[in-house]
Amino acid sequence: MAVEEDDFEKPLRELEKKIEELSGVPGGDDRSEEIGRLQRRLESMRQDVYSRLTPWQRTLVARHPKRPYTLDYVHLLFSDFREIHGDRKFADDPAIISGFAHYKGSPVIIIGHQKGRDTREKVRRNFGMPRPEGYRKAVRVMELAEKFGRPILTFIDTPGAYPGKGAEERGQAEAIAHSLRVMARLSVPIVVTVTGEGGSGGALAIAVGDRILMLEHAVYSVISPEGCAAILWSDQGKARDAARAMRMTAPDLKDLEIIDAIVPEPPGGAQADPARQGQILDDYLSGALGELTQMDADERLEARYQRFRRMGKFGQAKFF
């Protein structure tokens, strides 16, 4: 059962392989018809599989190595991006991307987590787990946004803040707390999008916003399912049970009023068609920014404060 749940895309990969093999074999119109039939079947299977994902399977999709990251969305949606490096205190942290850009002709600030594609980049970006200097860089850029009156768009995709010895020695908790306080007080519009994993304070540190969007197959929680299972049962093998109990999926969080909107994903997830995902997200971002820019600063600040004060629903969790 566990293997089937983990490898839910196996039938899709097998059909993709068959289509690829047929595409490389000459066959005239008959071959083209067969390929077309298989492609339609693949599309139907994708829609079926992705319409009934379990919370654990959504977690696996959120972690997919081909899923679009912050820089992918920057290239898809923004122009004139100018990255800002360094926290002016210790170093630059490549796990956090930040800088100036234009969105539909208007100046904005971009901040987001960045994972790596290959081994070298993953190591350089610390697998998307920021150190204190990453959050201090983010705060530095937020303060520039406030100074120049630019809206802030953040993109969340991290397993969590880096818990290493050096990060703790340099004040990881203080850096996160300071970022939370700064974001809560900014007068400019802030739109947050959870694109993949939203893990713990490492995600929340740049997620105090006026509008919280979340991709359909993303996850957002105070801890990973493995971490929760290790604490509750001393067994990471129960991560599937933890994922279900934690209510960390987009539909759950929309129901709990933690997020404002669920951004649909193409069949097969954002990783199957990043360009299409960018187009879908574009509509939601422009809509959110349009609403927020119509509000005055005091109104936005009060609404932001009240949305976080309202958070919290309590009940009995069902683990099995």
Cα 281 from Cα 75, distance rounded (Å): 13
Model pLDDT for residues 226-245, shown as the tens digit of each residue: 989 999 998 888 999 999 99
Neighbours of 90 (CB within 10 A): 15
Model pLDDT for residues 10-57, shown as the tens digit of each residue: 878 777 777 777 776 665 556 777 777 777 877 877 878 888 899 999
The three-state secondary structure class of 177 is helix
Q: What is the enclosing helix (H) or strand (E) of 312? A: none
Q: What is the dihedral of CA 41, 47, 48, 54, to 10 degrees?
A: 140
Taking a C-beta distance cutoff of 8 angstroms, is the pair 292, 151 a contact?
yes
Predicted confidence at residue 1, as pLDDT, reads: 36
Angle (CA) 272 97 132, round 5°:
125
pTM reported for the whole predicted model: 0.89
Model pLDDT for residues 191-220, shown as the tens digit of each residue: 999 999 998 899 999 999 999 999 999 999
Cα 298 from Cα 79, distance rounded (Å): 30
